[in-house]
Amino acid sequence: MNCPSVLIIDDDPDVERAKFDMMQSHQIILDVCHPQDVVGRQLFDADVVVVDFKLDEGWKQRDSLKEIALQPLNGLAVISILQSHAMRAASENESPTAFVLRSAHLNDLLPDFTADSRLHVIAAQCNLDWVLTKNVSIEEQGRQLTKLATAIQGLPASWDFDDANRLNEQVREWLKLPDSNWGPLAWQDIEDCHPPMYEIVSRKHGLRLVRWLTQRILPYPCFLWTTARIANRLRVSLASMETALKNGLSELLQPVQYNGALNEFDGQVRWWRSGFESVLWELTEGRSFDTDHTRELLNQRCDGALTDGGMNQPVLCLDREFQIQDAPCEMEDAVRIHPDYWPVYADPAWARIIDVADEPRLASAVIAADRERLSQAIAEGS
Amino acid sequence: MSEFAPLRFRFDDFKRELKTLQELGKGRFFDWSAEAIFPELDDFLGQVQRGHYFKGTRWEVKESRPLKTVATKHYEPGGGGANYVIGDVSWCWTICKSKEKPNQEFEVSGNASVRLRVRLAEHPDQTEIAMWRVECGASDSPGCFFHTQIMGHEDDGPFPHSLSVPRLPTLFVTPMAAIEFFLGELFQDTWAQHVSSDKGELGYWKSSQQKRFKQLLTWKLRQIERCQGSPWIALKHAKPMATDKLFADEGR
């Protein structure tokens, strides 16, 4: 495998080169240039091309033209042009290139969205592979780009599209699904989430898998669970779960930690859901439905760090910005919502009734079956 | 003195339980043909809810087109059963819109019977090797009201149609609860492990079944506590009364 490479396109390349210099230490090949200096070879050599959204200054050649079709006003327009070049010139065996838009002003892209909280939605809406917000540290941006470039480098050089079993194997390898007794269940979970495997023919099509993972899987509760979600499964607080992991539980759970492509892409550790359930099942000898008993056995391996969260049927809710919260609430105090773009294969989305009552955008997403319960709850509360 | 009251359920509860059960069972437990049956059941309930069904209508899965499980040997732990078997479930519940809350609730106004069969998967005609029914009684039935009967659908052989006993007490009231019991029997380890998670709507499934079990067990407990003679005979003769508010009202 070659060293992953990133091309950053900005109207102030010297400044950006200095900022991202630290990426070199992550064994990433970094190239920075002005939009008017990009040449075709750079597009194909890079695993990730990052373009700044605002290109207002320092592009005199563009500004001096009269033909508006030759004047890309922002980075999104530049990406469209570069994507079309990449598509036209690409041979079957050319490695895929991901296009990422980077900005501190993502609200300008889709003004109706709470942009920073829904990067995956913006990326999907704008035909981008990812969107990078400048509202996080440069180190965090560099870390994400490194993860993305590495995931693209890790895609197979060719896809066995005419051999379904081998194709499955290639996707499993990319996701690093362990060969274990719970592997078949996890694979079934993956298939339920419709990976775009059957659209993959040429090498470049691997990018669809990257988009699927970043935009349709990681932001939602599917076959990979965040630590907050496994804490919720055990009816314990996130803080106590994190303490338990430090106190020895990570040893038990290490085989079911997700280490595949784009692991910790958003900074969150994830776990194979089927693997986690399998660990509990074996630990409890088939009594993992008994949460108290399960917690008791787990506590023997982490100095009793897990404490009962005191809830009967907790659910993780979306807040008013449509962000999934780490702190749960009782199911009876929440209603199901279906935000735009929430995949049907993901676990249901929930919102606290108290939040729904105050936030019209949340209220409009409440599913029909829960509206009556919501009205009753609001009437009783008022 | 309270009077017998037909069982009442909320349309929304049943519709959501159906949807949840379909999701829980698809692929690994239900045969592919179930994918067509569940939406029909949901549609029918929706028709009753929206229409003028104040007289009994049959909400059913026909015996000729039952809900089927995939073939399994997991009726013994670890998949060690001697034969591959298939479960099939059919039911007929006679229901109508409730008079009190016609747009929200329905009543069981007649026969309420779920038939569960086990068949040999590898026999050409999938020979039936077990059959039982989960039923709710009528106002004049000898009890017990919530019961299971073995076979009773044919004129000869053991448990023929002419023999209406025994009526064994059961904890399973709705078709969905009877199906979960069935899946738990046919897939001893795998179903139990599957429903131990928090996947999808399992949280809802747990809470809805928990609520209904609690209502039923509390009701049974009340019969025993207030009886003056044999507790069993009290249970056997007990029928849901208006004051019991089974199952739609309680807890709301």
Q: Is B189 inside a domain boundary? A: yes
Cα angle value B164/B166/B167 (rounded, 5°) = 90
Q: What is the pLDDT of residue A50?
A: 97
Separation in Å, CA A193 to CA A184, A338, A343, A345: 14, 17, 8, 6
Flag whether pLDDT at A241 surpasses 60. yes
Whether B199 and A281 lie within 8 Å, measured CB to CB: no
Q: Which long-range contacts (CB under 8 A, 24 or more apart) does A307-310 make?
A: A307/A236, A307/A237, A307/A240, A308/A235, A308/A236, A309/A231, A309/A235, A309/A236, A309/A237, A309/A240
Q: What is the pLDDT of residue B249?
A: 63
Question: Which of A76-80, A94-98, A201-205, B48-52 is the most confident on average?
Answer: A76-80
User: In this predicted model, what pLDDT tens digit does every residue of A289-311 receive, in sequence order?
Assistant: 889 999 999 999 999 999 999 99
Q: Is residue B48 part of a domain?
A: yes
Dig out the tokens for A379 from the structure. 């009437």
Interface subset of B 101-140, CB within 8 angstroms of A: 104
Shortest Cα–Cα distance, A233 to chain B (Å): 6
For the segment A334-360, the average pLDDT, to the nearest whole number, is: 93
- A56 pLDDT band, cuts 50/70/90, is confident
Low-confidence ranges of chain B (pLDDT < 50): 251-252
Give the least confident one: A42-56, A322-336, B8-22, B193-207: B193-207
Rounded to the nearest angstrom, the minimum Cα separation between B227 and chain A is 33
Q: What is the pLDDT of residue B61?
A: 96
Of A277, A331, A369, the CB nearest to B197: A277
Residue A117's pLDDT band (cuts 50, 70, 90): low
Question: How many inter-chain contacts (A to B, CB under 8 Å) are there?
Answer: 44
Q: How far apart are CA A269 and CA A265, in angstroms?
A: 9
Average pLDDT over residues A3-29: 85
* Residue B250 in domain: no
pLDDT at B62: 95
Does the distance separating the beta carbons of A289 and B12 come in below 8 Å?
A: no
Measured at the CA of A359, the angle between CA A355 and CA A360, to 5 degrees, comes to 135
Residue A94: band (very low, low, confident or very high) from pLDDT cuts 50, 70, 90: confident
Residue A255 has pLDDT above 80, yes or no: yes
The CA–CA distances, whole Å, from B126 to B118, B119, B129 equal: 9, 5, 9
- With CB atoms and an 8 Å threshold, state whether A369 touches B203: no
Helices and strands, counts by H and E, chain B: 6, 8
The conformation of residue B243, written as its DSSP 8-state character, comes to G
Q: Residue A89's pLDDT is what?
A: 59
**Least Cα separation, residue A255 to chain B (angstroms):** 18
- Examine residue B58 and state whether it is found in any structural domain, yes or no: yes
Query: ipTM exceeding 0.90?
Result: no
Beta-carbon separation of B197 and A233 below 8 A: yes
How many structural domains comprise chain B? 1
In a domain, B128, yes or no: yes
Least CB-CB distance to B16: which of A280, A288, A369? A369
Chain A residues whose beta carbon lies within 8 Å of the beta carbon of residue B200: 347-348
User: Is B181 within 8 Å of chain A by CB?
Assistant: no
The reply to whether residue A372 touches residue B204, judged by beta carbons under 8 angstroms, is: no
Q: Predicted confidence band at A28 (pLDDT cuts at 50, 70, 90)?
A: confident
- At B111, give phi and psi (nearest 5°): -55, 135
Kindly list the distances between the CA atom of residue A155 and the CA atoms of A1, A205, B226, in Å, as whole numbers in the listed order. 10, 10, 70
Q: Report the pLDDT value the prediction gives residue B252, as an integer from 0 to 100.
A: 46
For A5-153, CATH gives 3.40.50.2300
In the predicted model, is pLDDT for residue A57 greater than 80?
Answer: no
Percent residues over pLDDT 70 in chain A: 95
Residue B154: domain span: 8-244
The pLDDT tens digits for A146-169 are 999 999 999 998 888 889 899 999
Residue with the larger pLDDT of the pair A204 and B184: B184
Asked if residues A306 and A241 have their Cβ atoms less than 8 Å apart, the reply is yes
How far B103 CA lies from chain A's nearest CA (Å)? 12
Query: B28 at the A interface (CB within 8 A)?
Result: yes
Residue-level pLDDT at B251: 44
Are B133 and B154 a contacting pair, CB within 8 Å? Answer: no
Q: How far is A283 from chain B (nearest CA, A)?
A: 12
Instruction: Please report whether residue B123 resides in a domain.
Output: yes
